């Protein structure tokens, strides 16, 4: 085994082990992940691409990842296990691609620094291991840029196409690479149009015919839901996206500026990547919706390349002897590992507490509804991931992600009217939630009675059933 192969193996396994350790210590799975899980299981069971059987609504924003999980379900592999497996492999490959990327950009002895940062980054690990499509999408992003840099443009375009049907944010990458390659490579320009068309056009036709629109309903629902609450100021949102809400954010941003200068001057690299990163940040910054912690994570591997390029830039500036740089790189890597390990302590504690909240309230509510609600009963609930997955009941999503009928009510803040007009058999309310202020309203209490209360720490959820009219 060559030293390069050994290094790649170590980097791959490090990323996998870090995320396995996080999963073991926390057991955390994001609530939204269970929405995708239920779609995948319905596909595998022959019920169609649906959340509620018979309701053709595109309530997940990751169709390609959903199809991948459905294949595992067909093979009788539990979907949550499949999601973790795919994410582990994707994370390992992302670390490997990042290392090879840094080598091709001549970071030399410091080529392992971007991969090391990704492997142990406190915001990447939870996002990669929480059941979402984040790790898989991140792999597609960094791979597309890597192949683009290596002048394998058709590969880059193909991977960007897969990214576009994995998450809506991938559409920006596909447009960017397609436009650049179309105008800069005249000999193959139409190949950059045909390749995306082979995948994207069939999906657009299928989703339009099947769902009525290729735009995920979850996007429309979140815009309506968070137009009334859940948003923060532009400055606070920008600080969060760039990591500047932490003490290390601004130094890393400054390092990225110097690293970017070095890459542009020495490697003629960075233009497309900078455009994509800025565009992605602006997309989230200007969107009137809540920013979840996994949204910005796919940007990090590219960002780490710019940050860590500041290291050779610094050593060049001080004329540090080349024969001593290997030792310096080793010491920096060890220091980075130590700092990041410490930095993961709080995320582990926080996500372990989140898992306990979800399993002690949301999952238990799901089990309760499975036992007490009729097979054809309709359950109105917000944050439907765990509840919908474990209840296996028809869900009226009060957030609107899988229930488009809730969107106009949420846009106007008419949360009680949704319940009164649609008359679900069961209602689940989080006490203190801005969507559940009606629980003391006589209009509601005259129609619904309390069945069961679930509490954990300071959180309280109540399950109500509709009073049958005699």
Helix axes 322-343, 310-317, angle to 10 degrees: 140
Mean pLDDT (the chain) is: 93
Q: Tell me, yes or no, if the pTM score tops 0.85.
A: yes
Digit-coded pLDDT (tens) for 65-97: 999 999 999 999 999 999 999 999 999 999 999
1 — pLDDT class (breaks 50, 70, 90): low
- Placement of tokens 């319940």 in the chain: 419
Residue 189 tokens read as 């320009």
Task: Average the pLDDT over each of 36-40, 236-240, 249-253, 426-430 and give the range with the smallest value.
Answer: 236-240
The C-alpha atoms of residue 388 and residue 392 are separated, in whole angstroms, by 6
When pLDDT is averaged across residues 253-274 and rounded to a whole number, the result is: 93
pLDDT score recorded for residue 385: 96
Digit-coded pLDDT (tens) for 310-338: 999 898 888 888 778 888 889 999 999 99
Cα 430 to its chain centre, rounded Å, is: 24
The C-alpha atoms of residue 114 and residue 307 are separated, in whole angstroms, by 8
pLDDT score recorded for residue 294: 86
User: For the chain, which domains are there?
Assistant: 3-343 (no CATH), 350-466 (3.40.190)
Where would I find the H helices in 191-244? 191-211, 217-225, 234-241
How would you class 421 by CB atoms within 10 Å of its CB: exposed for 0-12, middle for 13-18, buried for 19 or more? Answer: exposed
The answer to whether 28 and 127 are in contact (CB under 8 A) is no
The C-alpha atoms of residue 207 and residue 216 are separated, in whole angstroms, by 9
Residues found in the chain: 470
First CA to last CA distance, the chain: 78
């Amino acid at each position: 085994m060559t030293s390069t192969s050994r290094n790649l193996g170590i980097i791959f396994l490090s990323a996998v082990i870090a995320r396995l350790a996080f999963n073991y210590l926390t057991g955390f799975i994001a609530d939204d992940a269970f929405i995708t899980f239920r779609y995948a299981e319905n596909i595998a069971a022959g019920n169609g691409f649906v959340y509620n059987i018979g309701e053709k609504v595109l309530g997940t924003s990751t169709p390609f990842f959903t199809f991948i999980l459905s294949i595992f379900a067909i093979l009788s592999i539990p979907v949550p296990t499949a999601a973790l497996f795919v994410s582990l492999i994707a994370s390992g490959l992302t670390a490997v691609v990042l290392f090879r990327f840094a080598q091709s950009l001549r970071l030399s002895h410091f080529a392992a620094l971007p991969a090391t940062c990704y492997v142990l980054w406190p915001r990447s690990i939870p996002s990669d291991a929480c059941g979402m499509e984040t790790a898989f999408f991140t792999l597609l992003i960094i791979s597309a840029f890597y192949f683009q840099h290596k002048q394998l443009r058709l590969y880059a375009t193909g991977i960007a196409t897969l990214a576009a049907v994995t998450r809506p944010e991938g559409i920006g990458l596909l447009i960017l690479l397609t436009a650049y390659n179309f105008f800069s490579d005249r000999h193959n320009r139409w190949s950059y149009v045909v390749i995306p068309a082979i995948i994207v056009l069939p999906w657009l036709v299928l989703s339009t015919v099947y769902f009525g629109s290729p735009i995920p309903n979850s996007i429309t629902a979140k815009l309506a839901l968070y137009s009334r609450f859940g948003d923060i100021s532009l400055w606070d949102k920008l600080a969060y996206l760039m990591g500047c809400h932490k003490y290390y954010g601004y130094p890393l941003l400054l390092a990225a500026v110097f690293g970017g200068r070095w890459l542009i001057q020495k490697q003629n690299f960075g233009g497309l990547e900078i455009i994509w990163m800025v565009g992605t940040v602006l997309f989230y910054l200007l969107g009137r919706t809540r920013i979840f912690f996994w949204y910005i994570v796919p940007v990090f591997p590219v960002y780490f390349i710019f940050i860590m390029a500041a290291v050779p830039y610094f050593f060049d500036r001080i004329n540090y002897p080349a024969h001593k740089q290997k030792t310096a790189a080793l010491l920096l890597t060890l220091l980075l590992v130590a700092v990041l390990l410490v930095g993961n302590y709080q995320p582990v504690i926080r996500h372990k507490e989140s898992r306990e909240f979800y399993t002690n309230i949301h999952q238990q509510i799901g089990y309760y509804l499975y036992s007490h609600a009729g097979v054809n009963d309709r359950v109105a609930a917000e944050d439907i991931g765990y509840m919908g997955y474990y209840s296996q009941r028809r869900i009226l999503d009060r957030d609107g992600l899988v229930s488009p009928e809730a969107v106009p009510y949420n846009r106007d803040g008419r949360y009680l009217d949704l319940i009164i007009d649609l008359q679900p058999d069961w209602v689940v309310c989080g006490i203190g939630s801005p969507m559940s202020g009606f629980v003391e309203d006589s209009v509601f209490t005259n129609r619904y009675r309390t069945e069961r209360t679930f509490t954990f720490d300071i959180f309280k959820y109540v399950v109500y059933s509709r009073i049958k009219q005699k």
